[in-house]
Chains A and B, each alone.
Chain A
Amino acid sequence: MTQEQEYGKMIPEPVPETAYFWEKVREHELWIQKCTDCDHVFHYPRFHCPKCTSSNLDWFQASGKGTLYTYMINHRPAPGFQDEAPYAIAVVQLEEGPRMMTNIVGIENTPENLVLDMALEVTFDDVLPDVTIPKWKPA
């Protein structure tokens, strides 16, 4: 059985426009993009600004602070998640503006524990020797 099969969950594979994001995540840093023409901050990674189509973009390290924007709690586990159900699939509101999907770690995933707008901070899960996934935990 390969490491991937043993892990059992879906594995992100970067494409050119997302490679830098995943490279920095691998170093346990969360980097996002800002348009130097219109100042729009965005995620997921692109080669063009989704507000003005400019390709003058800067990468910068996000603070890693955010809040719980919304979530669902999945009772029917996806492949690889059998030992974790029920588990939350959540959207975090980054301090810098963009939102991203995540799991919430470090706390039992119940409606009582997961209160919208609670403070979260980023953490990094090294799921395979060369694959790291950003996740969020209560701050």
Chain B
Amino acid sequence: MSLRYKAAIVGASETTEIGVLPETSETQLHIDSAVNAMNNAGIGVDQIDGIASTMNPAILSNYLGIVPKWIDNTSVGGTSFLIHVRHAAAAVASGLCETVLCAMGESGRSRVGVARRGGGGQLDNSYPGQFESIYGPLGPPTLFGMGVLRFMKETGTTLEQLASVAVAQRKWSNKVPRAMFGDLITVDDVFNSRMISYPFNLFMCCLVTDGGGSLIITSADRAKDFPTTPVYIMGTGESVETPIVSQMYDMTHSAAFQTSSKKAFEESGVSHDDIDHLMVYDAFAHLPIYGLEDLGFVGRGEGGAFIEEGNTSPGGKLPMNTNGGGLSYTHSGMYGMYAIQEAVRQVRGEAAHQVEGVKTSFVQGVGGMFMAAGSLVLTNEEPHD
């Protein structure tokens, strides 16, 4: 079964506020965006009969006072929300339920209502614990870019091109009032920002914020019953590669990106030339470069130059990460929901920094450190043969 035009996003909203929210628990960030998304779709909670979340769906169901017919708790990092959309589309298309709430919230910065992080001097028998943590990584900044120097050596990609990713995205966030960082920057500014984990300076690393977002998904034939412009799901994909970054099959490619995006393109029936708008999950500056290449928008080793030359900037031929991305807009730890939200806004024509004439958007998510991937093709075009 293909999911092409079987389901639509009919409600979408982020939390009322994003950024630094020390008064809001992680549960409440889910709920705030969920209520906003239901309001956006013009429905009450009584119409929700499916729930997808990385948080235990029982917490959200019980808080909202519903007993759903369908749940999904897929939790493979920040791309989980793209995968929830895929699973929700399959669920409503096959009649397992009618209307799914995909909810997300994360107190990534303030850590309100979140389990504490571990310290040192402890035993760990997980695979990351035995084979990576013992060498002193401190979170994603010290692991996610592990392949970057190899990638640069093999492709000729330069540090300046890596820095230009952050520069390009500020050109978008400059006109996005909700973005945490909106000042225009230069490549030199990137190099002059604090060294975090060579080759990553601070501006090549994502923000750490609080926030959330939710979506309402139903079958395509019901989409017109809602007050919003339907955002049809045309293509979907998902995959996983490895629990530890050092064991990627090839550290200069994401096998999960390739598998997931290929499936989404095939299902959608659209070609790369049909994509008006692209979101590539940018926890760090190399991800849009890997994404452009692994999704097939450019050839091997061409991604860095493509961005540096302005092709993904305002006015460029492939507008990418138009909210400013995780580097400039917001990033609470699992960014995928914000990438979907921006794609929905662009496809609806209601983004802060709107690209003119967007019909079809491609969203590429990553989970963990190249652990998982999810892909979505979203469009405002009505189904036609």
Contacts and interface: CB of A to CB of B under 8 A. Distances in A.
A7 interface: yes
B131 interface: yes
B146 interface: yes
Q: Tell me what chain B mostly uses at the interface: helix, strand, loop, or mixed.
A: mixed
Given A69-B251, A72-B198, A101-B131, A10 B124 contact: yes
Nearest to A93: B150
Nearest to B131: A44
Interface stretch (B114-122, B178-186, B259-267, B307-315): B114-122
Interface residues of B, number: 39
Given A74-B142, A76-B196, A4 B147 contact: no
Interface string B200-233: 1000000000000000000000000000000000
B344 interface: no
Contacts of B150: 69-70, 116
A18 interface: yes
Given A76-B196, A79-B119, A15 B125 contact: yes
A22 to B, nearest CB: 8
A71 B134 CA distance: 15
A72 B246 contact: no
A9 B118 CA distance: 11
B144 to A, nearest CB: 9
B146 to A, nearest CB: 6
Contacts of A12: 123-125, 129-131, 134
A24 to B, nearest CB: 14
B285 interface: no
Contact of A11 (B123, B195, B198): B123
Interface residues of A, number: 44
Nearest to A100: B246
B129 A13 contact: yes
A13 B147 CA distance: 26
A113 to B, nearest CB: 12
Contacts of B137: 74, 78, 89
Contacts of B196: 75-76
A38 B150 CA distance: 28
A133 interface: yes
A91 B148 CA distance: 12
B326 to A, nearest CB: 18
A72 B148 CA distance: 8
Contact of A72 (B119, B133, B142): B142
Given A78-B137, A89-B135, A72 B145 contact: yes
Interface string A19-36: 000100000000000000
Interface string B138-159: 1001110111111001000000
Interface of A: 2, 4-15, 18, 22, 44, 69-81, 84, 86-87, 89-91, 99-103, 111, 116-117, 133
Given A10-B134, A78-B137, A78-B142, 17 more contacts: A7-B121, A9-B120, A10-B129, A11-B134, A12-B123, A44-B127, A44-B130, A69-B251, A71-B146, A72-B143, A72-B145, A75-B197, A76-B196, A78-B120, A91-B146, A99-B246, A100-B131
13 contacts: A7-B120, A8-B121, A10-B122, A10-B124, A22-B130, A44-B130, A44-B247, A70-B147, A72-B200, A73-B197, A78-B136, A86-B198, A89-B142
